[in-house]
């Protein structure tokens, strides 16, 4: 059980004071090259690893972190990343991290911008911002602000093509489409048709939805079957109107009698199934996303065959922990952090749900 090496030990061994060692460690200059070399040599010899505990105590600093996410009223999904965020916060607040959370309407770019301003112009400006780049133009602007102000940025749920982001935490959209293809293909006949159903506003701007569709199509292409031609897409912006959605679906069924597979590209599967409440869906197989209570009911019934879990809680958790790793532990942070695409059936659902519930207990 070897004793831990302290700055003092290094100082003694190198024949200098602790202040000098400190200057070397933090590259604060004012140390002659010879001395610096000697100190570094000793550090390597003794395999020095700083005591983070003592370090954070002495720093006595605040690390304000801005959070910018959709509110839960827009979409129950977004309560989950927030939950993970809170959990992570419990772990790292001792290190001085302070959250400044702002929520915006999921379909309201102006609110996004307004909240972003609030964040940036806070009395204690954040050292990092954690946000969901839902709106492309506004997000590019925010990234630019981060760049000029020297603020680190962590992207969650949706990625952006910006090399200056500290990291992205979320799913691999393309591959989730591939996986959906795999799950839908089980027991599929050669003439069956697959429907890709986008229930969202402004789907034209939603790159991740396109990626999912591409993944699904590529999966069937690789199967080399005639199924290739039979993937159709339907974008529905009026998904909140139950009657309209039902009519639209029924028309789709009529026009495509071989339709037997539905892939809902986000967490809103339950909207379709609510709308089709009375319609017999026995011969349909549906795959959707996320373990929302509304979806779970249909999964238990068998109306949804599989749900793909995007680990929303872990997304929030990881996102903040990455900031901690960067600023406190000074560990390198991986740019792309894909969370597993969990295949959820009634038989294994409880464990994923339990994991989410356990987090509530902590808070």
Partner DNA sequence: TCCTACACTGTGTGCGAACACAGATTGAAT
Partner DNA sequence: ATTCAATCTGTGTTCGCACACAGTGTAGGA
- Fill in the per-residue mask, 98 to 117: x = in contact with DNA (CB under 7 A), - = not in contact: --------------------
Q: Select the binding partner of residue 182 from DNA, a second copy, none (C-beta < 5 to 8 A, by kind).
A: a second copy
Give whichever of 44 and 282 is closer to DNA, judged by the CB atom.
44
C-beta of residue 116 within 8 angstroms of C-beta of residue 138: yes
Residue 199 φ/ψ, nearest 5 degrees? -105, 90
**How far is residue 249 from each of residues 29, 245, 256, 277, 281, measured CA to CA in Å?**
69, 6, 10, 12, 12
**Residue 104: other Cβ atoms inside 10 A:** 24
CA–CA dist 12, 281 (Å, integer): 77
Tell me how far apart the 2 most distant CA atoms of the chain are, in Å: 86
Q: Does 15 bind DNA (CB under 7 A)?
A: yes
* CB of residue 206 to DNA, shortest distance in Å: 43
Q: Does 22 bind a second copy (CB under 8 A)?
A: no
Q: Name the DSSP letter for residue 90.
A: H
Q: Does 254 bind DNA (CB under 7 A)?
A: no
**Contact pick of 1, 2, 27, 32 for DNA (by CB under 7 A):** 32
Q: Enumerate helices (H) and strands (E) in the chain, giving the number of each.
A: 14, 12
Stretches 18-26, 55-63, 131-139, 226-234: which one binds a second copy (CB under 8 A)? Answer: 55-63
Tokens, residue 162 = 């910006």
**How far is residue 300 from each of residues 306, 330, 349, measured CA to CA in Å?**
10, 44, 9
Q: Does 297 bind DNA (CB under 7 A)?
A: no
C-beta of residue 168 within 8 angstroms of C-beta of residue 159: yes
Q: Does 31 bind DNA (CB under 7 A)?
A: yes
CA–CA dist 207, 209 (Å, integer): 5
Q: Does 360 bind a second copy (CB under 8 A)?
A: yes
C-beta of residue 225 within 8 angstroms of C-beta of residue 248: no
290 torsion bin: left (phi>0), alpha (psi -120 to 50), beta (else):
left
Q: Does 8 bind DNA (CB under 7 A)?
A: yes
Q: Does 47 bind DNA (CB under 7 A)?
A: no
Length of the chain, please? 363
Q: Does 29 bind DNA (CB under 7 A)?
A: yes
Give whichever of 23 and 285 is closer to DNA, judged by the CB atom.
23
- Fill in the per-residue mask, 62 to 81: x = in contact with a second copy (CB under 8 A), - = not in contact: x-x-----------------
Q: Does 25 bind DNA (CB under 7 A)?
A: yes
Give whichever of 47 and 60 is closer to DNA, judged by the CB atom.
60
**Contact pick of 41, 45, 50, 334 for DNA (by CB under 7 A):** 50
In the sheet with 167-170, reading across from the earlier edge strand, the strands are 97-104, 63-70, 128-131, 152-156, 167-170, 336-338
**Contact pick of 118, 124, 191, 202 for a second copy (by CB under 8 A):** 124
C-beta of residue 349 within 8 angstroms of C-beta of residue 299: yes
C-beta of residue 163 within 8 angstroms of C-beta of residue 220: no
Q: Does 187 bind DNA (CB under 7 A)?
A: no
Q: Does 166 bind a second copy (CB under 8 A)?
A: no
- Residues 60-79 touching DNA, rule: CB under 7 A, are 60-61
Q: Does 19 bind DNA (CB under 7 A)?
A: yes
Give whichever of 23 and 261 is closer to DNA, judged by the CB atom.
23
Q: Contact positions toward a second copy, by CB under 8 A? A: 1, 51-54, 56-57, 62, 64, 91, 94-95, 98, 124, 172, 175, 178-179, 181-182, 186-187, 219, 318, 321-322, 325, 331, 333-334, 337-343, 345, 347-348, 350-352, 354-355, 358, 360-363
* Residues that bind DNA in the complex, under the rule CB under 7 A: 4, 6-8, 11, 15-20, 22-23, 25-26, 28-36, 50-51, 54-55, 57-61
């Amino acid at each position: 059980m070897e004793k831990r090496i302290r700055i003092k030990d290094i100082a003694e061994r190198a024949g200098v004071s602790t202040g000098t060692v400190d200057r070397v460690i933090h590259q604060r200059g004012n140390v002659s090259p010879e001395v610096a070399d000697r100190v570094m040599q000793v550090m390597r010899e003794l395999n020095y690893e700083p005591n983070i505990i003592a370090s954070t105590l002495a720093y006595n600093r605040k690390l304000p972190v801005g959070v910018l996410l959709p509110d839960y009223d827009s979409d129950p999904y977004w309560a989950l990343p927030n939950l993970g965020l809170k959990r992570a916060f419990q772990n790292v607040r001792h290190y001085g991290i302070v959250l400044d959370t702002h929520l915006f309407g999921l379909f309201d770019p102006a609110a996004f911008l307004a909240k972003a301003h609030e964040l940036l112009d806070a009395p204690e400006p954040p050292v990092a911002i954690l946000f969901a780049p839902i709106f492309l133009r506004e997000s590019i602007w925010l990234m630019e602000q981060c760049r000029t102000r020297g603020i680190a940025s962590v992207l969650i749920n949706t990625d952006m093509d910006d090399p200056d982001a500290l990291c992205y935490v979320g799913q691999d959209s393309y591959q989730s489409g591939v996986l959906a293809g795999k799950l839908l293909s089980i027991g599929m006949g050669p003439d069956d048709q697959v429907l890709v159903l986008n229930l969202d506003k402004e789907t034209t701007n939603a790159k991740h939805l396109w990626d999912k569709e591409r993944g699904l199509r590529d999966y069937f292409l690789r199967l080399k079957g005639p199924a290739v031609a039979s993937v159709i897409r339907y974008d529905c912006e009026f998904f909140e109107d139950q009657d309209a959605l039902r009519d639209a679906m029924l028309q789709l069924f009529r026009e495509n009698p071989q339709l037997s597979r539905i892939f809902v590209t986000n967490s809103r599967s339950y909207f379709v199934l609510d709308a089709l409440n009375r319609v017999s869906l026995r011969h349909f197989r549906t795959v959707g996303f996320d373990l929302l209570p509304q979806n779970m009911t249909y999964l238990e019934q068998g109306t949804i065959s599989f749900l793909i879990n995007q680990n929303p809680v872990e997304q929030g958790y990881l996102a903040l922990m990455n900031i901690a790793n960067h600023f406190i532990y000074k560990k390198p942070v991986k740019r792309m952090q894909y969370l597993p695409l969990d295949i959820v059936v009634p038989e294994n659902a409880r464990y994923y749900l339990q994991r989410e519930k356990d987090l509530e207990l902590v808070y």
